[in-house]
Structure 1
Amino acid sequence: MSDATTALDAGVLTLTFRRAAQHNALTWDMYAALVDACERADADDEVRALVVRGDGGRAFVAGTDIGQFAAFTSGADGVAYEKRVTEVLDRIRAVQVPTVSAVEGYCVGGGLGIACATDLRIATPGSRFGVPIARTLGNCLSARTLDLLVESLGRALTADLLLTARFLETDEARRVPGFLHAVVDDLDAGLAELTPRLTGGAPLTIWATKELLRGRADGPDRDDSAVVERVYGSADFRAAVAAFGDRRPPTWTGN
């Protein structure tokens, strides 16, 4: 079986990492599979949400497989590696449909980066989040990845996790505003409750929300007119206004 598989069901594309014996530590091929899933999510009109999860029950992703670093011979290799990771995380953030990380067990290093790059996160009790590189590999994160963690966790907690190399337990993580959508005993049940709300929403509203949230770094004076015009000029908007007046549910087409 491949180290990463995808399945589409009821509008939800699920990417599952399948290296359970290695705590789903990522190889380059697994990073590539993640990018491929993002590409499919944007290209396939049947996909209305993307879920990322890990197989085995012990880990979502336990970072990059350390074996991938064996060929490094200079600091330039580290620069290239961090650039590659940043490109993957940016690709996740650019996906036009809602994205969810379903976390069970360890969510470490690159795994935490992936989780922070998705729109929502659900986790089981006992899951652990962290980047303990100060006591393991002695490497560092890129500024872009660090910014992503700060955006999701806040500056103080990000510094805490990196400087002390400790893990964030689920009970503490659930108290971080906005970090966890839900803590669930069963991931499948949690996803079954969450994903219909994501796939059932107005596609253009979801697209616009994600597009404008990504653009926050451009500042409050950024030009949002093209996004707003596309939504308000859509057939979906006109049909929904009519449906509301007729007291019937709207039918979304994404047009």
Structure 2
Amino acid sequence: MDEPELLVTQDGGVLTVTFNRPRQRNAMTWGMYEGLHEACEKADADDDVRVLVLKGAGDKAFVAGTDIGQFADFREGSEGVAYEEKIARIVNRLEDVDVPTVAAIRGFCVGGGLGIASVCDLRIATPSARFGIPIARTLGNCLSMNNYSLLLNHLGPARTLDMLLRARLFTGEEAAAAGFVAELCAEEDLDTATDAVVTTLLGHAPLSMWAAKEAVRRIRRATLPDGDDIVSRVFASEDFHSAVAAFATKQPVVWQGR
């Protein structure tokens, strides 16, 4: 029997979510997104849970985006808006979790994976980690205003535009230098470094940590503008539809800008 695509385990005060599709670099399915939402609900409902840890199975990826097959039937811009609303529901729920959240990252942390990591409170990574959203050279789609806000909040406008316009993948070292990664450790030390951070958090005052999380969250969302018109235009474009089809056949895309 195949293992579940998402593993949720608890050890004392630590709830761990493992994205478990290593052969697909842990690309997210709708079921995995919903499982992550349920794990967030569990974290807040169980008074014994004091820290939530997220990690990817295998050594190739944390999460390498959303499974591209889920875009195959998109035809209208409204479907792109609905998709981004579904993703925002999950990402915002993770950001809303009362206890500290820690992402342990090696390998690819791109697309939807970067969105998930961005709403965690602390990110521990190795030099093999690669952070980015290379849609300008892959699918030709765009992000929601919520996800643009997360990138701006963490990286600032210059690094955000560098990442998106050049479709760059930041290394673990670059992400640490930008302040996005809280701690950079050797490949073989990721579990040990994560455990050390978790131990520190378990010893701190829960309400003090909650207050810091809640304040940062409220400030970020306070000025969030609407961006449905941007999403609708891009997801309805010929470029996006062509790129999704080309991705499945591994054909190059000729961008038309329409």
- Length-normalised TM-score, structure 1: 0.83
Deviations 1:168-198 (A, max 9, x none): 0112111113x11111122211111110111
Counterpart position of 2:196: 193
Is 1:174 the counterpart of 2:191 in the alignment? no
Partner-residue secondary structure (3-state), 2:148: helix
Instruction: Find out whether 1:204 has 2:207 as its counterpart.
Output: yes
Per-residue CA deviation, residues 188-223 of structure 1 (Å, 9 max, x unaligned), is 11111110111111111112221222222477xxxx
1:64 counterpart residue number: 66
Q: Distance in 1 between matches of 2:155 and 2:85?
A: 22
- The 4+ residue runs of structure 1 with deviation greater than 4 A are none
Alignment-derived partner of residue 29 in structure 1 = 31
Q: For 1:31-180, what aligned pairs fall within 5 Å after superposition?
A: 31-177=33-179, 179-180=180-181
Q: 2:25 touches 2:60 (CA, 8 Å); kept in 1?
A: yes
Structure with larger Rg:
1
Matched to 2:24, the amino acid is Q
Query: Which letter does structure 2 place at the counterpart of 1:12?
Result: V
Counterpart of 1:237? none
| Structure 2: distance between partners of 1:6 and 1:46 | 15
Which amino acid letter does the alignment assign opposite residue 75 of structure 1? Answer: G
Unaligned 5+ runs, structure 1? 220-255
Distance in 2 separating the partners of 1:217 and 1:158: 16
Number of equivalenced pairs: 218
The farther-off stretch of 197-206 and 29-38 is: 197-206
Kindly state the Cα deviation for residue 125 of structure 1 after the two structures are TM-superposed.
1.3
Rate the CA distance shift 1:180–1:36 in 2: closer, same or farther, 3 A: same
In 2, Cα distance between the equivalents of 1:26 and 1:134? 20
Partner of 2:9: 7
Which one-letter code corresponds to 1:58 in the other structure?
A: K
**Separation of aligned partners in 2, 1:161 and 1:218:** 22
Alpha-carbon deviations, 1:19-68, whole Å to 9, x = none? Answer: 00000000000001111111111000110000111001100000000011
Name the structure 1 match of 2:227.
none
Q: Which has the higher contact order (CA 8 A, sep 6+)?
A: 2
What is the match of residue 244 of structure 1? Answer: none
| TM-score normalised over the length of structure 2 | 0.82
Partner of 2:218: 215
Q: Which residue number in structure 1 is paired with residue 185 of structure 2?
A: 184
Give the letter for the 1:133 counterpart: I
Deviation of 1:10 after TM superposition, in Å, equals 3.0
Calculate the aligned-residue CA RMSD, in Å.
1.2
**1:123-171 per-position Cα deviation (integer Å, ceiling 9, x unaligned):** 0111100000000011000111100111111111111111000110112
Structure 1 residue identity aligned to 2:56: G
> Unaligned 5+ residue runs, structure 2?
223-258
The residue identity in structure 1 corresponding to 2:206 is P
Q: Report the Cα distance in structure 2 between the residues aligned to 1:153 and 1:199, rounded to whole angstroms.
A: 28
The DSSP-based 3-state class of the residue aligned with 1:97 is coil
SS of structure 2 residue aligned to 1:197: helix
Tell me the secondary structure at the aligned position of residue 15 of structure 2.
Answer: strand
